[in-house]
């Protein structure tokens, strides 16, 4: 039985399946006969503004369509509450009789919930807090993987499969910059684009390894010599051995977001810097770069079926834990078969504000590729992709020579 009315909100960057979790939680709360199911608009900021909608008055038909729609249907926020902010939250929750709070989000949102959970105990406010995981970065501790990642990975793999074919048709060097500040999981997904042995990406640069511009130049020239072309996947978070972002070397006037992080997305600067560097340091003529940007987390119609299903389930499980477990926590995903998962309620402090990065076993010794173990890890998450097939027509003998 859920404590008081239930409130649901979404925080941080949207994903392709974040509304599956919302709908899973709403439907399970209904099934359990919750006395009220509210949604807060734009995450915790909607709580202090009392900006609530009555989710009990949704039809299942509309909810199913919302579940299939990418990006936070309740809106999102980058707000991170301090103690005073939490006191405001409790005032509003109390006025509305809310006793259970579900927050769908990543590292920052889970930390918001940890703060809220601790402050509620300190203030003796009875609030059951359950975090529902999502992040395209796949960087939550404890979890085998996180909802949102498989669909974003499918986008990145589909994009690189396409640019590999494009680069094969019109050879040269292509650099694609992928989201992921500290964790390279999303960039690494580019490896799924390969089918034939000479397919790109031929080089993959992850933030788990230091990036050196001269080594990069040599890598690119060697790959270009070998394949007559070169496709490169680069994480936006690449940095030098001092930890300085490669992008930061571009400009001292970088915008900073509310969490004090350098803004890495929403600019094409890193791709341009890297292509300029290749043009300056090699004699390769055709060099192109793209920054995948916001498309990788929002593109309509690119979704992993496994991701949809699991995102729905973590929403449902969150409500079940809130009703049965006598503690706050975060729903975590654990791989228990090939391929099967199970869910647990883990401590918020085990996940909150922490970042999982790629294990060394997933990164090739060259530091410019992933290992077969990574491909085994990611294949069942992304599922089948469209095939990219080559002609097999035999080459004809030259007559004129």
Task: Show the tokens assigned to 374.
Answer: 């990574």
Q: Which of 32, 26, 74 is nearest to 52 (CA)?
A: 74
Q: In whole angstroms, how close is the CB of 95 to its own copies at the nearest point? A: 4
Residue with tokens 């993987």: 145
Residue 137 known to be catalytic: yes
* Run of H or E including 323: helix 305-324
> Choosing from 137, 219, 307, 328, which is the catalytic residue?
137
Q: Which of 287, 255, 294, 251 is nearest to 271 (CA)?
A: 287
**Is 298 or 344 the residue whose CB approaches its own copies more closely?**
298
How far apart CA 287 and CA 385 sit, in angstroms, is 27
**Is 302 or 362 the residue whose CB approaches its own copies more closely?**
302
Beta carbons of 256 and 267 less than 8 angstroms apart: no
Q: In whole angstroms, how close is the CB of 192 to its own copies at the nearest point? A: 11
**Cβ neighbour number for residue 226 with a 10 Å cutoff:** 11
How far apart CA 277 and CA 260 sit, in angstroms, is 28
Q: What angle do CA 182, 188, 194 make, to 5 degrees?
A: 165
Residue partners of 401: CB distance under 8 A and separation at least 6: none
How far apart CA 58 and CA 54 sit, in angstroms, is 8
Active-site residue set: 137
């Amino acid at each position: 039985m859920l404590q008081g009315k239930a409130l649901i909100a979404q925080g941080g960057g949207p994903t392709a399946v974040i509304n599956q979790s919302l709908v899973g939680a709403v439907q399970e709360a209904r099934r359990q006969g919750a006395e009220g199911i509210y949604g807060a608009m734009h995450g915790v900021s909607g709580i202090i503004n009392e900006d609530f909608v009555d989710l009990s008055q949704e039809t299942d038909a509309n909810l199913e369509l919302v579940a299939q729609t990418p990006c936070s249907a309740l809106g999102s926020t980058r707000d991170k509450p301090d103690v005073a902010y939490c006191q405001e939250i409790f005032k509003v929750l109390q006025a509305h009789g809310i006793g259970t709070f579900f927050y769908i989000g990543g590292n920052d949102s889970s930390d918001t919930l940890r703060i809220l959970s601790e402050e509620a105990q300190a203030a003796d406010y009875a609030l059951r807090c359950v975090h529902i995981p999502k992040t395209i970065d796949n960087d939550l501790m404890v979890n085998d993987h996180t909802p949102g990642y498989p669909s974003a990975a499918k986008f990145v793999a589909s994009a690189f499969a396409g640019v590999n074919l494009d680069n094969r048709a019109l050879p040269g060097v292509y650099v694609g910059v992928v989201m992921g500040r500290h964790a390279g999981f999303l960039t690494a997904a580019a490896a799924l684009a390969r089918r034939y042995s000479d397919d790109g990406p031929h080089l993959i640069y992850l933030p788990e390894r230091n990036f050196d511009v001269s080594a990069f130049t040599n890598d690119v020239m060697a790959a270009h010599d070998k394949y007559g072309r070169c496709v490169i996947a680069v994480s936006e978070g690449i940095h030098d051995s001092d930890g300085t972002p490669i992008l930061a070397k571009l400009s001292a006037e970088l915008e900073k977001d509310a969490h004090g992080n350098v803004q890495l997305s929403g600019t094409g600067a890193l791709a341009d810097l890297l292509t300029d560097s290749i043009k300056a340091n090699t004699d390769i003529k055709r060099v192109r770069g793209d920054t995948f940007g916001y498309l990788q987390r929002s593109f309509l119609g690119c979704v992993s079926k496994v991701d949809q299903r699991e995102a729905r389930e973590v929403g449902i499980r969150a409500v079940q834990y809130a009703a049965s477990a006598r503690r706050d926590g975060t729903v975590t995903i654990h791989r228990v078969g090939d391929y099967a998962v199970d869910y647990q309620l883990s401590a918020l402090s085990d996940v909150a504000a922490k970042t999982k990065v790629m294990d060394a076993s997933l990164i090739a010794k060259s530091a410019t590729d992933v290992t077969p173990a990574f491909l085994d890890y990611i294949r069942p998450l992304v599922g089948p992709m469209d095939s990219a097939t080559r002609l097999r027509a035999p080459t004809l003998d030259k007559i004129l020579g």
